[in-house]
Amino acid sequence: MKALVTGGTGTLGRLVVPRLQEAGCDVRILSRQGRDGRGDIEFLTGDLASGVGVQAAVQGAEIIVHCAGGKKGDGDKARRLVQAASRAGTRHLVYISVVGADRIPISSGIDRAMFGYFESKLAAERGVADSGLPWTTLRVTQLYESMLMLVHQMARLPVVPVPAGWRFQPIDGCEVADRLVELALGAPAGLVPDLGGPRVYEMAELVRSYLQTRGMHRLVLPIWLPGNAARVFRAGANLAPDQAVGRLSWEDFLAAGTSSPMASTSAGT
Ligand SMILES: NC(=O)c1ccc[n+]([C@@H]2O[C@H](COP(=O)([O-])OP(=O)(O)OC[C@H]3O[C@@H](n4cnc5c(N)ncnc54)[C@H](OP(=O)(O)O)[C@@H]3O)[C@@H](O)[C@H]2O)c1
Protein backbone atom coordinates (compact mmCIF):
# COMPACT_ATOMS: atom_id res chain seq x y z
CA MET A 1 0.00 0.00 0.00
CA LYS A 2 1.46 3.38 -1.00
CA ALA A 3 1.03 6.09 1.61
CA LEU A 4 1.89 9.78 1.59
CA VAL A 5 2.43 11.56 4.91
CA THR A 6 2.27 15.33 4.61
CA GLY A 7 4.06 16.85 7.59
CA GLY A 8 6.03 13.62 7.91
CA THR A 9 8.95 15.66 9.24
CA GLY A 10 6.88 17.20 12.04
CA THR A 11 6.23 16.26 15.66
CA LEU A 12 3.31 13.98 14.88
CA GLY A 13 4.16 12.99 11.32
CA ARG A 14 7.54 11.54 12.31
CA LEU A 15 5.71 9.23 14.72
CA VAL A 16 3.20 8.22 12.02
CA VAL A 17 5.79 7.35 9.37
CA PRO A 18 7.48 4.36 11.11
CA ARG A 19 4.10 2.98 12.17
CA LEU A 20 2.87 2.98 8.58
CA GLN A 21 6.08 1.29 7.52
CA GLU A 22 5.69 -1.36 10.22
CA ALA A 23 2.22 -1.99 8.85
CA GLY A 24 3.79 -2.72 5.46
CA CYS A 25 3.15 0.59 3.72
CA ASP A 26 5.47 2.08 1.18
CA VAL A 27 5.83 5.59 2.64
CA ARG A 28 6.71 8.90 1.10
CA ILE A 29 6.88 12.29 2.80
CA LEU A 30 5.98 15.70 1.47
CA SER A 31 8.23 18.42 2.86
CA ARG A 32 9.07 21.97 1.87
CA GLN A 33 12.76 21.23 2.32
CA GLY A 34 14.45 18.99 -0.18
CA ARG A 35 16.00 15.99 1.60
CA ASP A 36 17.62 12.80 0.52
CA GLY A 37 15.50 9.74 1.05
CA ARG A 38 16.44 7.84 4.20
CA GLY A 39 16.28 4.09 4.15
CA ASP A 40 13.14 3.23 2.27
CA ILE A 41 11.43 6.59 2.82
CA GLU A 42 11.06 8.81 -0.21
CA PHE A 43 11.08 12.59 0.34
CA LEU A 44 9.22 14.75 -2.14
CA THR A 45 9.66 18.50 -2.13
CA GLY A 46 6.48 20.53 -2.20
CA ASP A 47 4.65 23.35 -0.54
CA LEU A 48 0.97 23.15 0.28
CA ALA A 49 0.85 26.94 0.68
CA SER A 50 1.77 27.52 -2.97
CA GLY A 51 0.75 24.16 -4.41
CA VAL A 52 4.21 23.60 -5.92
CA GLY A 53 5.12 19.90 -6.04
CA VAL A 54 1.85 18.74 -4.51
CA GLN A 55 0.43 16.90 -7.54
CA ALA A 56 3.62 14.89 -7.97
CA ALA A 57 3.60 14.02 -4.27
CA VAL A 58 0.06 12.63 -4.24
CA GLN A 59 0.33 10.77 -7.53
CA GLY A 60 -0.01 7.03 -6.87
CA ALA A 61 -0.62 7.42 -3.12
CA GLU A 62 -3.55 5.24 -2.09
CA ILE A 63 -3.61 6.67 1.42
CA ILE A 64 -2.77 10.23 2.43
CA VAL A 65 -2.26 11.04 6.10
CA HIS A 66 -2.38 14.82 6.18
CA CYS A 67 -0.27 15.97 9.14
CA ALA A 68 1.17 19.14 7.59
CA GLY A 69 0.02 22.23 9.36
CA GLY A 70 0.98 25.52 10.87
CA LYS A 71 -0.33 28.34 12.99
CA LYS A 72 -2.47 29.63 10.14
CA GLY A 73 -3.60 28.88 6.60
CA ASP A 74 -4.37 25.19 7.12
CA GLY A 75 -7.70 25.60 5.30
CA ASP A 76 -5.91 26.70 2.13
CA LYS A 77 -3.30 23.95 2.50
CA ALA A 78 -6.00 21.32 2.79
CA ARG A 79 -7.82 22.73 -0.23
CA ARG A 80 -4.70 22.41 -2.38
CA LEU A 81 -4.06 18.89 -1.16
CA VAL A 82 -7.66 17.84 -1.77
CA GLN A 83 -7.64 19.19 -5.32
CA ALA A 84 -4.49 17.25 -6.14
CA ALA A 85 -5.71 14.10 -4.37
CA SER A 86 -9.02 14.21 -6.26
CA ARG A 87 -7.17 14.35 -9.56
CA ALA A 88 -4.95 11.47 -8.42
CA GLY A 89 -7.89 9.34 -7.25
CA THR A 90 -6.64 8.85 -3.67
CA ARG A 91 -8.59 6.10 -1.90
CA HIS A 92 -8.42 7.45 1.66
CA LEU A 93 -7.57 10.91 3.00
CA VAL A 94 -6.95 11.03 6.74
CA TYR A 95 -6.86 14.37 8.49
CA ILE A 96 -5.65 15.31 11.96
CA SER A 97 -7.53 18.19 13.55
CA VAL A 98 -7.84 19.63 17.01
CA VAL A 99 -10.49 19.24 19.69
CA GLY A 100 -12.48 22.47 19.80
CA ALA A 101 -12.08 23.30 16.10
CA ASP A 102 -15.86 23.63 15.83
CA ARG A 103 -16.41 25.26 19.22
CA ILE A 104 -14.16 28.33 19.39
CA PRO A 105 -16.07 31.36 18.06
CA ILE A 106 -14.01 33.92 16.16
CA SER A 107 -15.84 37.21 16.31
CA SER A 108 -13.09 39.83 16.59
CA GLY A 109 -9.53 40.58 15.66
CA ILE A 110 -8.43 39.66 19.19
CA ASP A 111 -10.16 36.27 18.89
CA ARG A 112 -8.48 35.64 15.55
CA ALA A 113 -5.05 36.72 16.77
CA MET A 114 -5.21 34.22 19.63
CA PHE A 115 -7.37 31.44 18.23
CA GLY A 116 -7.16 31.74 14.43
CA TYR A 117 -5.51 28.32 14.49
CA PHE A 118 -8.83 26.70 15.45
CA GLU A 119 -10.63 28.57 12.67
CA SER A 120 -8.14 27.33 10.09
CA LYS A 121 -8.42 23.74 11.39
CA LEU A 122 -12.19 23.91 10.93
CA ALA A 123 -11.76 25.27 7.40
CA ALA A 124 -9.40 22.37 6.65
CA GLU A 125 -11.86 19.86 8.11
CA ARG A 126 -14.59 21.24 5.84
CA GLY A 127 -12.30 21.07 2.82
CA VAL A 128 -11.62 17.41 3.53
CA ALA A 129 -15.28 16.56 4.22
CA ASP A 130 -16.48 18.34 1.06
CA SER A 131 -13.74 16.90 -1.12
CA GLY A 132 -15.74 14.01 -2.54
CA LEU A 133 -12.84 11.76 -1.51
CA PRO A 134 -13.27 8.96 1.04
CA TRP A 135 -12.09 10.62 4.27
CA THR A 136 -11.51 10.28 7.98
CA THR A 137 -10.89 13.13 10.42
CA LEU A 138 -9.62 12.73 13.97
CA ARG A 139 -9.67 15.63 16.43
CA VAL A 140 -7.15 15.34 19.23
CA THR A 141 -6.09 17.46 22.19
CA GLN A 142 -2.60 18.95 22.46
CA LEU A 143 0.33 16.54 22.26
CA TYR A 144 2.69 16.25 25.24
CA GLU A 145 5.54 16.90 22.83
CA SER A 146 4.04 20.26 21.79
CA MET A 147 3.04 21.16 25.33
CA LEU A 148 6.61 20.46 26.43
CA MET A 149 8.01 22.80 23.78
CA LEU A 150 5.53 25.49 24.86
CA VAL A 151 6.27 25.31 28.59
CA HIS A 152 10.00 25.07 27.85
CA GLN A 153 9.81 28.39 25.99
CA MET A 154 7.63 29.98 28.66
CA ALA A 155 10.06 28.89 31.38
CA ARG A 156 12.85 30.92 29.79
CA LEU A 157 11.21 34.01 31.24
CA PRO A 158 12.03 34.93 34.83
CA VAL A 159 8.29 35.40 35.48
CA VAL A 160 6.03 32.99 33.58
CA PRO A 161 2.69 34.51 32.50
CA VAL A 162 -0.03 31.86 32.31
CA PRO A 163 -3.53 32.56 30.95
CA ALA A 164 -5.92 32.35 33.90
CA GLY A 165 -8.45 29.53 33.71
CA TRP A 166 -6.89 27.82 30.71
CA ARG A 167 -6.92 24.06 30.92
CA PHE A 168 -5.46 21.37 28.72
CA GLN A 169 -5.90 17.63 28.38
CA PRO A 170 -2.65 16.72 26.67
CA ILE A 171 -1.93 13.34 25.16
CA ASP A 172 1.06 11.24 24.18
CA GLY A 173 1.96 11.72 20.52
CA CYS A 174 2.68 8.00 20.15
CA GLU A 175 -0.87 7.16 21.15
CA VAL A 176 -2.21 9.66 18.62
CA ALA A 177 0.05 8.23 15.92
CA ASP A 178 -1.16 4.70 16.75
CA ARG A 179 -4.76 5.79 16.32
CA LEU A 180 -4.10 7.73 13.12
CA VAL A 181 -2.44 4.73 11.53
CA GLU A 182 -5.24 2.44 12.67
CA LEU A 183 -7.71 4.82 11.02
CA ALA A 184 -5.60 5.17 7.88
CA LEU A 185 -5.50 1.42 7.38
CA GLY A 186 -9.22 1.02 8.07
CA ALA A 187 -12.22 2.04 6.01
CA PRO A 188 -12.92 5.77 5.61
CA ALA A 189 -15.03 6.71 8.63
CA GLY A 190 -15.78 10.46 8.39
CA LEU A 191 -15.48 12.39 11.65
CA VAL A 192 -14.52 9.87 14.33
CA PRO A 193 -14.75 10.34 18.13
CA ASP A 194 -12.23 12.77 19.64
CA LEU A 195 -9.08 11.58 21.32
CA GLY A 196 -8.01 13.21 24.59
CA GLY A 197 -5.33 12.64 27.19
CA PRO A 198 -6.03 10.87 30.48
CA ARG A 199 -6.38 14.03 32.63
CA VAL A 200 -7.35 17.67 32.45
CA TYR A 201 -4.77 20.08 33.92
CA GLU A 202 -4.75 23.77 34.73
CA MET A 203 -2.10 25.30 32.52
CA ALA A 204 -0.30 26.56 35.63
CA GLU A 205 -0.08 22.93 36.84
CA LEU A 206 1.59 21.86 33.59
CA VAL A 207 4.10 24.69 33.90
CA ARG A 208 4.83 23.97 37.56
CA SER A 209 5.35 20.24 37.03
CA TYR A 210 7.78 21.03 34.21
CA LEU A 211 9.67 23.48 36.41
CA GLN A 212 9.82 20.90 39.18
CA THR A 213 11.14 18.20 36.85
CA ARG A 214 13.86 20.54 35.63
CA GLY A 215 14.68 21.83 39.13
CA MET A 216 13.80 25.38 38.08
CA HIS A 217 12.23 28.12 40.19
CA ARG A 218 9.98 30.71 38.52
CA LEU A 219 7.12 32.90 39.59
CA VAL A 220 3.96 31.78 37.73
CA LEU A 221 1.77 34.80 37.09
CA PRO A 222 -1.90 34.35 36.04
CA ILE A 223 -3.00 36.78 33.29
CA TRP A 224 -6.55 37.43 32.12
CA LEU A 225 -7.08 37.27 28.37
CA PRO A 226 -9.91 39.24 26.75
CA GLY A 227 -12.37 38.19 24.04
CA ASN A 228 -15.19 35.81 23.37
CA ALA A 229 -12.96 32.99 22.18
CA ALA A 230 -10.82 33.19 25.33
CA ARG A 231 -14.01 32.97 27.43
CA VAL A 232 -15.14 29.84 25.57
CA PHE A 233 -11.65 28.39 25.91
CA ARG A 234 -11.79 28.97 29.68
CA ALA A 235 -15.10 27.10 29.66
CA GLY A 236 -13.27 24.05 28.27
CA ALA A 237 -14.03 24.11 24.53
CA ASN A 238 -10.61 22.55 23.87
CA LEU A 239 -11.23 19.58 26.17
CA ALA A 240 -12.69 16.14 25.57
CA PRO A 241 -13.34 14.79 29.10
CA ASP A 242 -15.70 12.11 27.76
CA GLN A 243 -12.92 10.87 25.47
CA ALA A 244 -10.08 10.74 28.00
CA VAL A 245 -8.71 7.61 26.45
CA GLY A 246 -4.99 8.40 26.51
CA ARG A 247 -2.99 6.18 28.89
CA LEU A 248 0.42 7.79 29.46
CA SER A 249 0.23 10.63 32.01
CA TRP A 250 2.00 13.99 31.66
CA GLU A 251 3.98 13.21 34.79
CA ASP A 252 5.15 9.89 33.33
CA PHE A 253 5.97 11.59 30.05
CA LEU A 254 8.15 14.12 31.87
CA ALA A 255 9.75 11.42 34.01
CA ALA A 256 10.52 9.27 30.96
CA GLY A 257 13.53 11.44 30.17
CA THR A 258 11.72 13.63 27.68
CA SER A 259 11.83 16.70 29.92
CA SER A 260 13.98 18.35 27.27
CA PRO A 261 11.88 19.22 24.20
CA MET A 262 14.77 18.22 21.97
CA ALA A 263 14.71 14.73 23.42
CA SER A 264 11.07 14.33 22.45
CA THR A 265 11.49 15.56 18.90
CA SER A 266 14.82 14.11 17.87
CA ALA A 267 13.63 10.58 17.21
CA GLY A 268 12.49 9.39 13.82
CA THR A 269 13.05 11.18 10.55
N1 LIG B 1 0.90 19.14 18.11
C2 LIG B 1 -0.30 19.22 18.67
O3 LIG B 1 -0.47 19.41 19.89
C4 LIG B 1 -1.51 19.03 17.79
C5 LIG B 1 -2.78 18.87 18.39
C6 LIG B 1 -3.89 18.71 17.55
C7 LIG B 1 -3.73 18.73 16.17
N8 LIG B 1 -2.49 18.90 15.66
C9 LIG B 1 -2.34 18.94 14.21
O10 LIG B 1 -1.48 17.89 13.83
C11 LIG B 1 -0.74 18.28 12.68
C12 LIG B 1 0.73 18.05 12.96
O13 LIG B 1 1.12 18.86 14.06
P14 LIG B 1 2.63 18.89 14.53
O15 LIG B 1 2.65 19.32 15.95
O16 LIG B 1 3.31 17.62 14.14
O17 LIG B 1 3.21 20.07 13.65
P18 LIG B 1 4.75 20.49 13.45
O19 LIG B 1 5.65 19.73 14.34
O20 LIG B 1 4.78 21.99 13.52
O21 LIG B 1 5.06 20.04 11.97
C22 LIG B 1 4.43 20.69 10.92
C23 LIG B 1 4.68 19.89 9.66
O24 LIG B 1 3.92 20.49 8.60
C25 LIG B 1 4.76 20.62 7.48
N26 LIG B 1 4.32 21.82 6.77
C27 LIG B 1 4.04 23.03 7.31
N28 LIG B 1 3.69 23.90 6.35
C29 LIG B 1 3.75 23.21 5.18
C30 LIG B 1 3.51 23.57 3.82
N31 LIG B 1 3.15 24.82 3.47
N32 LIG B 1 3.67 22.62 2.87
C33 LIG B 1 4.07 21.36 3.21
N34 LIG B 1 4.33 20.98 4.48
C35 LIG B 1 4.17 21.89 5.44
C36 LIG B 1 6.18 20.72 8.00
O37 LIG B 1 7.05 20.14 7.05
P38 LIG B 1 8.41 20.84 6.50
O39 LIG B 1 8.82 21.87 7.53
O40 LIG B 1 9.38 19.69 6.40
O41 LIG B 1 8.03 21.41 5.20
C42 LIG B 1 6.12 19.84 9.24
O43 LIG B 1 6.43 18.51 8.92
C44 LIG B 1 -1.11 19.74 12.41
O45 LIG B 1 -2.11 19.79 11.44
C46 LIG B 1 -1.66 20.21 13.73
O47 LIG B 1 -2.59 21.27 13.59
C48 LIG B 1 -1.37 19.04 16.43
Determine the average pLDDT of the residues in 250-256: 95
Read off the pLDDT of residues 182-233 as tens digits, 9 standing for 90 and up.
Answer: 999 999 999 999 999 999 999 999 999 999 999 999 999 999 999 999 999 9
CATH number reported for the structural domain that contains residue 125 in this entry = 3.40.50.720
Ligand 1 atom 15: the closest Cα is on which residue?
Answer: 11
Would you say the CB of residue 81 lies under 6 angstroms from ligand 1? no
At residue 208, the pLDDT reads: 97
Burial of 2 (0-12, 13-18, 19+ CB in 10 A): middle
Whether 67 and 53 have beta carbons less than 8 Å apart is answered as no
Ligand 1 atom 35: the closest Cα is on which residue?
Answer: 68
pTM across the whole model:
0.95
Determine the Cα–Cα distance for residues 13 and 5; give it in Å rounded to an integer. 7
- Quickly list H helices, the chain: 13-22, 54-58, 74-88, 109-129, 144-154, 173-185, 203-214, 228-234, 250-253, 261-265
Question: Could you tell me the distance, in angstroms and rounded to a whole number, from the CA of residue 67 to the centre of ligand 1?
Answer: 6
At residue 261, the pLDDT reads: 56
Read off the pLDDT of residues 111-144 as tens digits, 9 standing for 90 and up.
Answer: 999 999 999 999 999 999 999 999 999 999 999 9
Type and span of the H or E element at 258: none
For residue 170, which atom of ligand 1 is closest to its CA?
Answer: 3
Query: What range does the domain containing 94 cover?
Result: 2-265
Which of 6, 12, 120, 153 for mutating ligand 1's site (highest number of atoms within 8 Å of CB)? 12
24: left (phi over 0), alpha (psi -120 to 50) or beta: left
Question: Could you tell me the distance, in angstroms and rounded to a whole number, from the CA of residue 219 to the centre of ligand 1?
Answer: 31
Would you say the CB of residue 86 lies under 6 angstroms from ligand 1? no
At residue 147, the pLDDT reads: 97
